[in-house]
Amino acid sequence: MAAPSVVVIGAGQAGSDTAAALRSQGFGGRITLVGAEGVLPYQRPPLSKQFLAGTRSSTDLALRPASFHTAQDIEFVGQDPAVRLDRAGARVLLASGRSLGYQHLVLALGARPRRLTVPGAGLDGVLTLRTLTDAGRLRDGMRDAGHLLVIGGGFVGLEVAATARAAGLEVTVVEAGARLLARSVSGAMSAHLLAEHRAHGVRVLLSREVTALRGDGAGHVREAELDGGERIAADLVVVGIGALPEVGPAADAGLAVDDGILVDAFLRTSDPAVHAVGDCARFPGPHTGRPVRLESVQNAADQARCVAATLCGNPRPYAALPWFWTEQYGLRLQIAGLGDGHDRVLTVGDPSTGRFSLLCYRGRQLLATESVNQPADHMITRRLMGAGGPLPAPEEAARPGFGFKAFQQAASV
């Protein structure tokens, strides 16, 4: 009888971590890791920061060294995306024509940037940022550009804006919503980040939209037109208006999808031989009571370990606490939990010092802590939420002098 085999499709954080975790948790069968890009699996967070700033090279970004796959007996197949999933035959067909049989399939397909659909969106110099190739193009483009236009005030857009501003470019951010990072942080944190960007000389336009991009005779972008007719110079444009989960092969094969590949608490799709992890998976959120899809390193890494445990015969439902981070101008924002649906925000510390946390409550329940240069607040929240409490009640957090370190110490006595 052949050894059991797992095929992992997608070699980003989730896919690479799944292959590694299978081995480190004792899986003895065949592991094949299939990626669409022609490079070793790498870290994406630095693409918009250190890589773009030139302080880290692409070789520094590899999650694991080249020797890793050989040493761990993992077959790594690069630059050969999966094109079709034959569930009846338990095989995956790759773009090269190669066909891989599997006993278990893990889909770690990731997400792709949402495209801009205005006239001129196809001009040279209009870029998105997802892959190392994208980041290389953007870095090259920044060398010759004078005015960067960032469309979208989300994590990617704001990180690129901060890096470009530090590199001396003129930067404009146009956000269609009424505030920055509206889907990810509280209104008070949006306001803090807005002030930070403006203080660094970024022009931020809220509730505004780009209606057209125009180029020069050579087809390179030169200016943008906004709703209301205003024109702004832009010789480089980054589109950061969200990402769409990659579900193509899964949907074509009849798996249940709905803005992501639908999985159960064990990350299993509607086919028991197929699991999905990372940006492409929509799972029952243990902390939200509704299905969620998360785009973060934490979610990719924790789901990878969870699915590996299942395939090694130690299934446990996925219950990791979500957390996120971003860095802009030396401002390090760390978010523990999901603040969605909060109705009250309490401030711990003094925002004018640049070190503080915002606590997002729904009624008496702490949903999330948003910490700026306060890693202890972030870590203690994560630890207490992960342990099921106790968490500070709102009246306690509102008391002058409240601090997480003292709270934790008192709680552990």
Partner 1 sequence: MAKITYRHPNGTETVVDVPVPNTVMRGAKINNIDGIEAQCGGSAQCGTCHVYIDEANALPLPEMHESEDDVLYGTAAPRRANSRLSCQLPVSEEIDGLVVHLPETQS
The binding site for partner 1 (CB under 8 A) comprises 20-21, 23-25, 43, 45-46, 63-65, 68, 71-72, 297-298, 301-302, 305, 320-321, 323, 325, 332, 334, 374-376, 378-383, 386, 404-405, 408
| CA 206 – CA 152 distance, rounded (Å) | 10
Min separation Cβ 377 and partner 1, Å: 9
User: Which residue, 235 or 370, has its beta carbon nearer to partner 1?
Assistant: 370
User: Which residue, 224 or 308, has its beta carbon nearer to partner 1?
Assistant: 308
| CA 355 – CA 22 distance, rounded (Å) | 40
* Cβ-contact 212, 118 below 8 angstroms: yes
Residue matched to tokens 């338990």: 90
User: Which residue, 125 or 285, has its beta carbon nearer to partner 1?
Assistant: 285
Min separation Cβ 380 and partner 1, Å: 4
Min separation Cβ 237 and partner 1, Å: 28
Min separation Cβ 317 and partner 1, Å: 15
211, 241, 253: which is closest to 88 by C-alpha? Answer: 253
User: Which residue, 23 or 275, has its beta carbon nearer to partner 1?
Assistant: 23
Amino acid residing at 141: G
User: Which residue, 79 or 373, has its beta carbon nearer to partner 1?
Assistant: 373
* Cβ-contact 148, 142 below 8 angstroms: yes
Min separation Cβ 299 and partner 1, Å: 10
Q: 303 to each of 74, 126, 159, 347, 397, how far by Cα in Å?
A: 19, 33, 25, 32, 32
| CA 83 – CA 92 distance, rounded (Å) | 8
The neighbour count for residue 97, using CB atoms within 10 Å, is 8
Quick one: tokens of 69?
A: 């796959």
User: Which residue, 255 or 335, has its beta carbon nearer to partner 1?
Assistant: 335
* Cβ-contact 239, 151 below 8 angstroms: yes
User: Which residue, 110 or 141, has its beta carbon nearer to partner 1?
Assistant: 110
Q: What is the dihedral of CA 263, 265, 270, 274, to 10 degrees?
A: 80
User: Which residue, 250 or 306, has its beta carbon nearer to partner 1?
Assistant: 306
| CA 13 – CA 27 distance, rounded (Å) | 19
Min separation Cβ 335 and partner 1, Å: 12
Quick one: tokens of 29?
A: 């069968």
Sheet holding 210-215, edge to edge: 210-215, 221-226, 231-233
Min separation Cβ 88 and partner 1, Å: 34
Min separation Cβ 378 and partner 1, Å: 7
| CA 274 – CA 307 distance, rounded (Å) | 10
In degrees, rounded to 5, the angle at the alpha carbon of residue 277 between the alpha carbons of residues 27 and 59 is: 80
